[in-house]
Chain A
């Protein structure tokens, strides 16, 4: 144990005890301590990630063969997802029923069974306990009690459901079936992206020193898009008056935003006031933002946030699902799972790889998000109590909020759903 750890244990819970007061119930104001308190972080693990939610685990395409497995997390709980010999999917907490050791130590692989290295207890793909060495002891002495039942000592199993090749898990017996949880307003966006078989193209990982909810706000935040990320403006590529549609679900959890490609009636005048706009720069390789139409609607940008930790993304022709894994109140890992379609030509696949340059940790149009989140985390971690505000579009009509991405109604929506689940 490090000195720092002991200091924490001795301090005990902070005076807030994980309880926090939001100034209101409309989600427009958020006390800073929800981004930094360890007590609230622990409560979120219980009430959100192990609560009545579905958490994204993997693409089915990542686990094509029986026995394929992947280690991941639900919240910060280590979980393994496997394709069983029967072709079904199973997920279990990666914690040995004996002494609690991590059972599966590989990130991914293929195995019929999983043995814990400590005392070699072994489990099948479903998480059932199958073997306990020296169960009858040595020469019949000092084994497990007669009453010890393998069936009662398997790994903790999670409910698993999949929709269009997206695998989700839940700790909750109460949560609605997955399609109801996603809701009818969210399904069309998923149906469009996953309208035919996909091909997994690999994952990249970004580690951000900020609270996971700052990211969930960031992806729902259309206000910052053209102000923080100036790639498009610098290279004279888009206008702020592109047609947009940003819709939420009925349970105040998810959001789906689409930016449609339309001709620009303003002649770039909308950018005149933005200091970062550079009139004369252009790309030598403009295909990097070229949209090769593959959906009925011409969508430049599709960002769909499924509460609590999934973002489905299409930006021009680059496709990915982003998974958010909280690690501590002020740390999370962000994993981009890229994919294309199984029937892509080599040339189309190359085009998708080219457009990977736009997103992720080195993304030309997104690399600033990590820094923005860390600046918030640094700004709020000390100093007097305070709260953030999200008021843009508060007084706008519902249709206008859905039409104008810089309305902050989807941030407010996230916080209303959060407050409800957390009991705040």
Chain B
């Protein structure tokens, strides 16, 4: 029960950082060598690796954030995450495998909101001195057609 609560807290913090546009905090939810990927389910079920984002380690995540802030050009937009069904698949004292559902609404220019992405997270969470962190987070999305572009991690 306590573990479930702690994992929920980690996830709540994670989505709040993204939805509140505190992107510089986003890599800090991972271990330094943690992995983050966004992969369409159609590839995932075939065992194919191609996806939208593949960050292997915090360095690549920070590069992504700097690029978003400084280099890339896009319309102002924000996400609102809705997550549910956090499930613990396996656990040891310091490592937990979980899955949960996510729905991301994207609002562009504070005018229109659409379902941007729907899928599930498959996470490996590890205990560190600073608390629980993602060692691996994969967002497996089901609506394969990405509308216009994806800038912000989900």
A235-B59 contact given A202-B50, A362-B149, A367-B149, CB 8 Å threshold: no
Q: A204 contacts which of B46, B50, B73 (Cβ < 8 Å)?
A: B50
Q: Does B1 contact A (CB under 8 A)?
A: no
- Separation in Å of the A373 CB from the closest CB of chain B? 9
How many residue pairs at the A-B interface have CB separations less than 8 Å? 119
Report the Cα distance A202→B42, complex, angstroms.
8
The number of residues on chain A lying at the interface, defined by a beta carbon within 8 Å of a beta carbon of chain B, is 42
Interface of B is mostly: mixed
Which interface residue of B59, B62, B72 has the most chain A CB atoms within 10 A?
Answer: B72
Is the beta-carbon distance between A207 and B38 smaller than 8 angstroms?
no
Within 8 Å CB of A208, what residues of B? 148
Q: Does A252 contact B (CB under 8 A)?
A: no
Report the Cα distance A206→B53, complex, angstroms.
14
Is the beta-carbon distance between A288 and B43 smaller than 8 angstroms?
no
Q: A206 contacts which of B51, B59, B146 (Cβ < 8 Å)?
A: B146
Q: Does A338 contact B (CB under 8 A)?
A: yes
Is the beta-carbon distance between A202 and B52 smaller than 8 angstroms?
no
Within 8 Å CB of A228, what residues of B? 73
Within 8 Å CB of A107, what residues of B? 42
Q: Does A242 contact B (CB under 8 A)?
A: no
Contact with A along B8-39 (1 / 0, CB 8 A): 00000000000000000000000000000010
A278-B60 contact given A205-B145, A353-B50, A354-B54, CB 8 Å threshold: no
Contact with B along A304-320 (1 / 0, CB 8 A): 00000000000000000
Q: Does B67 contact A (CB under 8 A)?
A: yes
Q: A356 contacts which of B50, B63, B146 (Cβ < 8 Å)?
A: B50
Residue in chain B with minimal CB distance to A357: B54
Is the beta-carbon distance between A360 and B73 smaller than 8 angstroms?
no
A353-B49 contact given A207-B148, A234-B70, A361-B149, CB 8 Å threshold: yes
Is the beta-carbon distance between A281 and B50 smaller than 8 angstroms?
no
The number of residues on chain B lying at the interface, defined by a beta carbon within 8 Å of a beta carbon of chain A, is 36
Is the beta-carbon distance between A284 and B59 smaller than 8 angstroms?
yes
Q: Does B135 contact A (CB under 8 A)?
A: no
Report the Cα distance A333→B73, complex, angstroms.
21
Within 8 Å CB of B42, what residues of A? 107, 202-203
Q: Does A371 contact B (CB under 8 A)?
A: yes
- Separation in Å of the B95 CB from the closest CB of chain A? 22
Q: B67 contacts which of A200, A201, A202, A231 (Cβ < 8 Å)?
A: A231
A231-B73 contact given A107-B42, A204-B40, A353-B54, CB 8 Å threshold: no
Q: Does B64 contact A (CB under 8 A)?
A: yes
- Separation in Å of the B115 CB from the closest CB of chain A? 13
Contact with B along A121-147 (1 / 0, CB 8 A): 000000000000000000000000000
A338-B60 contact given A207-B145, A235-B71, A333-B145, CB 8 Å threshold: no
Contact with B along A275-290 (1 / 0, CB 8 A): 0101001011100100
Is the beta-carbon distance between A362 and B52 smaller than 8 angstroms?
yes
Name the 3 nearest CB pairs between A and B, nearest first: A202-B50, A202-B48, A202-B43
List 14 A–B pairs whose Cβ atoms lie within 8 Å, in order of A's numbering: A201-B50, A202-B42, A202-B51, A203-B40, A206-B149, A230-B73, A231-B71, A234-B71, A281-B66, A284-B59, A357-B60, A357-B64, A367-B74, A368-B149
Partner-B contacts on A (CB < 8 A): 107, 200-209, 228, 230-231, 233-235, 276, 278, 281, 283-285, 288, 333, 336, 338, 349-350, 353-354, 356-357, 360-362, 364, 367-368, 370-371, 374
Partner-A contacts on B (CB < 8 A): 38, 40, 42-43, 46, 48-57, 59-60, 62-64, 66-67, 70-75, 144-151
